Amino acid sequence: MASDSDVEGQLGYQDGEAAEEAGESEMDGSDEEGEEEEEGEEDLDDELIGDSGEESGEAEFEEEEGDEEEGEAAEEDDKESDVEEIADEDMATNIEDKRDEAIKNLLSKEDLGIIQMRIKETIKILSNFKELRDDSKDRQTYMDSLKQDVAHCFDYNLELLDLLFDLFAPSECLQFIEANENQRPLTIRTNTLKTKRKDLAKTLIQRGVSLDPIAEWSKVGLKIYESQVPIGATPEYLAGHYILQSPSSFLPVMTLAPQPNERVLDMAAAPGGKTTYIAQLMKNTGTLVANDIKKERLKSLNANCHRLGVSNLVISLQDGRKLPNMFKKFDRVLLDAPCSGLGVIARDPQIKVQKTYRDVMKLSHLQKELILAAIDCVDAHSKTGGYIV
């Protein structure tokens, strides 16, 4: 049998071994925990390094994008500057070309004074051709030279000059052309349906208008020299006390001499200057028919007649050549037929450039048709009239 001391010794030995094993296991656990902690720290470091790498990568990408955008903007600026430089060069080239062309034109043109002297000399020769002519030149040569000089000096087209020199002698044609270069004075016609010329003149003078009567042959016309107010916008104009009208438009109506209580036809009435004068002479009695072929022109005709207080008027929109089928038995007929406008070149200089012989011939044919229609409209047996103007 083992003794108690032997048993205690064995138990102590066993306890010692158990203690050693527990110590080793604790040491192993602590080593494993230390390793796990180290691994955790390494993983955290790796994550931090990865995040910082990604951030640095994104920053580098953004920097690259910024550099690309700056490069593109710089390229665009360079392109714009190149385009501007090209445009400036083209503009400078165009300016130089136009300047050179203008200089060439000035050098190629003769002085107007020299041309005018040659025109007068040519007309002098043509007026006494037999004695003053150059034997080496015929009359047609002188005429062609004269037309060329007139065309350059007064800006007429040669076709229109051919027509004018066929109508007038060379000296008379030059007088006509020179007269068209002078500006016509502004004239007005007093509307005696609403006022008298003396009262109208007094009122306009008070408004700072410098004026005079047109001539002794007209009792209603006034010539305007200068004005401190627009003549076409005064209270008197808006009230219908006068109308802007040239003296040449007075004469057809004065020649027609319409009488009160008659039947009168104005075949081409717009814009209404002659129509309102007829109504004025008729003292708003009788019947006045105002016709025009163009609808848009009737607006001005209607406006002027209302403004001037015309009340005996009937407005018609018809082709004048068809009027005999609708109206007849008029005491008087006024026909201001469409024309070439050669008499109003001073007011519209484009006529001397645009109008041709063909235009004149077309209008001449139309005028003949209209005068035949006017003859059919008038009453040849009228007791007071039977007139066509």
| pLDDT level of residue 29 (50, 70, 90 thresholds) | very low
Q: For residue 357, which of 173, 160, 156, 168 has the smallest C-alpha distance?
A: 160
Q: For residue 317, which of 287, 297, 332, 300 has the smallest C-alpha distance?
A: 297
**What span, in angstroms and rounded, lies between the C-alpha atoms of 276 and 191?**
8
Q: What is the DSSP letter of 378?
A: B
How much is the average pLDDT of 48-60?
A: 46
**Range(s) within the chain of domains with CATH label 3.30.70.1170:** 183-244
Q: What is the pLDDT of residues 194-242, one digit of tens each?
A: 999 999 999 999 999 999 999 999 999 999 999 999 999 999 999 999 9
Q: For residue 220, which of 144, 162, 178, 276 has the smallest C-alpha distance?
A: 276
Per the model's pLDDT, the better-predicted residue between 7 and 364 turns out to be 364
The token duo for 376 is 């059919």
Q: What is the pLDDT of residues 69-122, one digit of tens each?
A: 665 666 666 666 666 666 666 666 777 667 766 665 654 555 788 888 999 999
**Range(s) within the chain of domains with CATH label 3.40.50.150:** 247-388
**What span, in angstroms and rounded, lies between the C-alpha atoms of 158 and 156?**
6
Provide, rounded to the nearest whole percent, the portion of the chain with pLDDT above 90: 55
Residues whose CB falls within 8 Å of the CB of residue 275, separated by 6 or more in sequence, listed in order: 266, 269, 288, 290, 301, 304, 305, 310, 313
Burial of 163 (0-12, 13-18, 19+ CB in 10 A): middle
Q: For the chain, report the end-to-end CA distance as a whole number of angstroms.
A: 177
Q: What is the pLDDT of residues 118-177, one digit of tens each?
A: 999 999 999 888 888 888 889 999 999 999 999 999 999 999 999 999 999 999 999 999
Q: What is the pLDDT of residues 248-298, one digit of tens each?
A: 999 999 999 999 999 999 999 999 999 999 999 999 999 999 999 999 999
Q: Which CATH architecture is the domain 247-388 placed in? A: 3-Layer(aba) Sandwich (3.40)
The token duo for 95 is 């300016």
Strand residues in the chain grouped as ranges (E): 186-190, 209-213, 221-227, 242-244, 263-266, 287-292, 313-317, 332-334, 387-388
How much is the average pLDDT of 361-386?
A: 92
- 8 Å CB contact between 225 and 210: yes
Q: With the C-alpha atoms ordered 228, 229, 231, 236, is the resulting torsion angle positive or negative? A: negative
pLDDT score of 341 = 86
How many Cβ atoms from other residues are within 10 Å of residue 230's Cβ? 8
In CATH, what number does 183-244 get?
A: 3.30.70.1170
Q: Reduced to 3 DSSP states, what percent helix, strand and coil does the chain have, rounded to the nearest 5? A: 60, 10, 25
Q: With the C-alpha atoms ordered 281, 284, 287, 291, is the resulting torsion angle positive or negative? A: positive
Per the model's pLDDT, the better-predicted residue between 356 and 67 turns out to be 356
| pLDDT level of residue 15 (50, 70, 90 thresholds) | very low
The token duo for 121 is 């000399």
pLDDT score of 79 = 64
